[in-house]
Amino acid sequence: MAVLALGFVVQSATAADDKYPSKQINWYIHSSAGGGTDIFSRTAALRLRRILKTPIVISTMSGGSGARMLNHMMEQPADGYTIFSLTNSNLATMARGRTTATRDDIIGIARGCYDPQSMVISTKGKYADIQAAVAAAKESPGKVKVGVAHMASIDHVAAYEFAKKAGIEFEYVPFKGGGEIVVALMGDVIDLGMLNPSEFMGQYEAGNLKPAVFLVADRLEQFKDTPTAKELGYEVEMATWRGVGVKAGTPDEVVKTLRDAFQKSMSHKIYQSYLEDNSMGPESILSGEDWDAFLDSKWPIWQAAMKELGYIEK
């Protein structure tokens, strides 16, 4: 009887230990504190801690546009206790061979941000709309200047994809961020700027800048007069997105627990307010297989773009 009782106790303790989550979850991001990815992660984690009833520690692991973070992920057990934020730049880093991780090494948990990419012009600039800018680029290849935040970034690739579909060539002018692009547009240093709504909204409301085209599927509610690239015949859809992933091989039941928890967290009014405050809608949220399918659709685009732009490392 004593032996049977002891066996029951050991089995019960093991079952309790196996219940996920039973300890701290470590959440890694590759960008600096206070940036868009950091704010997204911390906002999503607010309710997530309560839902999962476990500590969640968010840590920055910068270096190599996510290479250090992804390499760290590859060294951890596939048990759901290491999760990480995923962005466009991480796909670029993997495509460039700067990390041991590839798309196949990642399971998508949830997407929480989908910040539309737009090509913005000055209301006092030389081009009245995107059609005029495209016409000028066709007449003088490489002469129309487009401001992007860093080369090999979502800005750069979005502008490149648009130009490829339109059959034109741009001159890409790199800046450190959206703020510098706004200043350059207003100073007539560049002709177009790749910006998200939250970056140009202030100058849009002041009447100095306006979006010429959005690289999304449907017109935005707050910009009903601005066409999409697809409306104009250019099949390109690009946005700044942020989401969460785990290492491939993580047990199915753990993946399901995380996906369900993130869905609940992002449905809460706190997270919904965050989206609204940053000019994003509920379509930002993708969960489970939909998020994985989205990553699958974007992966070949980034692979091709990095190769065509000369960024693939041999």
Closest CA to 245 of 57, 3, 50, 41: 41
Task: In whole angstroms, give the CA distance from residue 260 to residue 80.
Answer: 13
pLDDT at 16: 41
Joined together, the tokens standing for residue 232 give 């104009």
When computed from its CA atoms, the radius of gyration of the chain, rounded to whole angstroms, is 22
Delimit the domains of the chain by residue range: 23-115+239-308, 118-223
Where residue 5 falls among pLDDT bands split at 50, 70, 90?
very low
Buried b (16+ CB within 10 A) or exposed e, 120-139: bbbeebebeebebbbebbee
- Taking residues 65-69, report their average pLDDT: 92
3-state SS, 189-219, equals CCCEEEECHHHHHHHHHCCCEEEEEECCCCC
Asked if the model's pLDDT at residue 2 lies above 80, the reply is no
Contact of 196 with 279, CB cutoff 8 Å: yes
pLDDT at 31: 82
Task: In whole angstroms, give the CA distance from residue 149 to residue 164.
Answer: 19
pLDDT at 314: 53
Compare 49 and 31 and report the one with higher pLDDT.
Answer: 49
Task: In whole angstroms, give the CA distance from residue 262 to residue 3.
Answer: 43
- Taking residues 218-242, report their average pLDDT: 94
pLDDT at 256: 97
Task: In whole angstroms, give the CA distance from residue 164 to residue 236.
Answer: 9
Where residue 32 falls among pLDDT bands split at 50, 70, 90?
confident
Where residue 194 falls among pLDDT bands split at 50, 70, 90?
very high
Contact of 107 with 245, CB cutoff 8 Å: yes
| DSSP β-ladder status, 106-116 and 82-87 | unpaired
CATH of domain 118-223: 3.40.190.10
Where residue 123 falls among pLDDT bands split at 50, 70, 90?
very high
- Taking residues 155-162, report their average pLDDT: 96
Cα angle vertex 58, ends 52, 60, to 5°?
160
pLDDT at 119: 98
- Using DSSP's 3-state secondary structure scheme, residue 100 falls into coil
- Taking residues 164-181, report their average pLDDT: 94
- Taking residues 266-284, report their average pLDDT: 91
Same topology, domains 23-115+239-308 and 118-223? Answer is: yes
Asked if the model's pLDDT at residue 243 lies above 50, the reply is yes
Asked if the model's pLDDT at residue 298 lies above 90, the reply is yes
Q: Does domain 23-115+239-308 have CATH number 3.40.190.150?
A: yes
Ramachandran angles phi, psi of 194, nearest 5°:
-85, 115
Compare 1 and 62 and report the one with higher pLDDT.
Answer: 62
% of the chain exceeding 90 in pLDDT: 80
- Using DSSP's 3-state secondary structure scheme, residue 92 falls into helix
pLDDT at 177: 87
**Of how many residues is the chain composed?**
314
- Using DSSP's 3-state secondary structure scheme, residue 59 falls into strand
- Using DSSP's 3-state secondary structure scheme, residue 145 falls into strand
Compare 174 and 15 and report the one with higher pLDDT.
Answer: 174
Q: Tell me which of 63-67, 179-183, 190-194 is least confident.
A: 63-67
State the amino acid at position 100 in one-letter form.
T
pLDDT at 313: 59
State the amino acid at position 187 in one-letter form.
G
